[in-house]
Amino acid sequence: MNILPPMAYVWYHFAEKNLGDRVGKVLFDCSGKLNPKDFPNMRVQKFLNFYAATKSDEFLYHIATHRKIGWICDDDMFPMSPKMLDVLERELADDKTASVSFRPRNWWHYDIDGKEYEVSSSYCTAINREIFCKKEKLSLAPANFNNHPSHIGKPPVRYDTFDKANEILIRKGYRCYVVPEQERNEYLTGFSGMSGAVILLHYFKTPEETILYYMTPPKKQWSGNVLFGTLSAMLAICTICEIYESITGKKYVIPSLPARSELERIRDVNRKEFRDDQDPEWFENVEKHLKREL
């Protein structure tokens, strides 16, 4: 599901390279700016930018109708290995397996009848439609009243996309497999929180306006998630545009996106204000991984 056109090209490049014709590929074009002719091996479906869960339910119930497996992958999560398909075939051979996740949520977990379970998320998760759609008739919709334990002190409060259905499946005795942490980087790499930066780049008209947004708040504001997260995502968008140019031979111009050097300067000026869990190297490692595998 895509609102940043160059990211669609980058995702498609890695999906074609690593998954090829072994999967059918569908992309919801929520910007309305993509040319389907640029994606010859994928269905490009123009679609209003509803919540992710709404689009995912539409895919599972009405587009993947004739498939047993509906595999949902964010467009900022890039397939890195054909072995992903071997994992799916192996784990979904068990008829009790309802889902296979390559990138779970890592900041809270389910506590169900005294046992801990990882949260599958919807970042890159394959869902057994026989179970999810036909037997249990579930939805990926978010929900309130999430009281499960947090790893960061802040309670989760809400169930995000697929989280409530994930819990229901576990409670009903289904298997929701999560790829072990030590294997994940082999199969998948990706950014996080890109939509916030995309919204800012739509809102601002010039690079100067965007820079002012980051230079105006007091230093203490950098200890929160918004400034660090959106700034990191801005740098990730610079990376996406660079890889887009490598793939297509064309520049993709975003009028309000500052130069990478300016964004890096803002990051370095405010680095000492970041929390310990806010790690710029994570985004940099994703960039290195993508460019190495290009």
Q: Is the pLDDT of residue 152 over 90?
A: no
For the chain, what percentages of helix, strand and coil (3-state, to nearest 5) are there?
A: 45, 20, 35
Question: What end-to-end distance do the CA atoms of the chain give, in Å?
Answer: 22
> Which domain covers residue 274, as residue numbers?
192-293
Same domain, 155 and 56: yes
Question: What residues form DSSP beta bridges with 146?
Answer: 157
Question: What residues form DSSP beta bridges with 79?
Answer: 188
Same domain, 174 and 210: no
CATH of the domain at 134: 3.90.550
Q: What is the b/e burial string over 40-76, where b = at least 16 CB atoms within 10 angstroms of the residue's CB?
A: eebebbebebeebbbbbbebbbebbeeeebbbbbbbb
Same domain, 211 and 245: yes
Tokens (6 digits) for 289: 């991984």
* Percentage of residues in the chain having pLDDT higher than 90: 94
Same domain, 129 and 268: no
Q: What is the pLDDT of residue 282?
A: 87
Same domain, 163 and 213: no
Whole-angstrom CA distances from 154 to 121, 151, 157 are 18, 8, 9
Same domain, 181 and 209: no
Helix/strand/coil for 186: helix
Tokens (6 digits) for 282: 């994570």
Using CA atoms, how far apart are residues 84 and 19, in angstroms rounded to an integer? 8
Burial class (CB in 10 A: 0-12, 13-18, 19+), 184: middle
In this predicted model, what pLDDT tens digit does every residue of 115-146 receive, in sequence order? 999 999 999 999 999 999 999 999 999 999 99
Whole-angstrom CA distances from 178 to 81, 117, 119, 204 are 17, 9, 8, 39
Same domain, 150 and 273: no
Same domain, 151 and 202: no
Among candidate residues 165, 188, 211, the one where a domain is terminated: 188
Q: Report residue 104's pLDDT band, with 50, 70 and 90 as the boundaries.
A: very high
Among candidate residues 161, 188, 215, the one where a domain is terminated: 188
Tokens (6 digits) for 261: 């050097």
Same domain, 101 and 245: no
Q: What is the pLDDT of residue 223?
A: 87
Same domain, 208 and 254: yes
Tokens (6 digits) for 164: 């409530």
In this predicted model, what pLDDT tens digit does every residue of 174-228 receive, in sequence order? 999 999 999 999 999 999 889 999 999 999 999 999 999 999 999 999 988 899 9
Structurally, the chain folds into a number of domains equal to: 2
In this predicted model, what pLDDT tens digit does every residue of 247-294 receive, in sequence order? 999 999 999 999 999 999 999 999 999 988 888 888 899 999 999 999
Give me the sign of the Cα torsion angle 14, 252, 29, 210: positive
Q: Report residue 55's pLDDT band, with 50, 70 and 90 as the boundaries.
A: very high
Same domain, 178 and 224: no
Summary mean pLDDT of the chain: 96
Could you write out the DSSP letters of every residue in 204-243? --SHHHHHHHHHSS-GGGGGSSHHHHHHHHHHHHHHHHHH
Among candidate residues 172, 188, 204, the one where a domain is terminated: 188
Nearest to 100 by CA among 76, 73, 82, 75: 73
Same domain, 221 and 180: no
Q: What is the pLDDT of residue 276?
A: 83
Using CA atoms, how far apart are residues 239 and 260, in angstroms rounded to an integer? 9
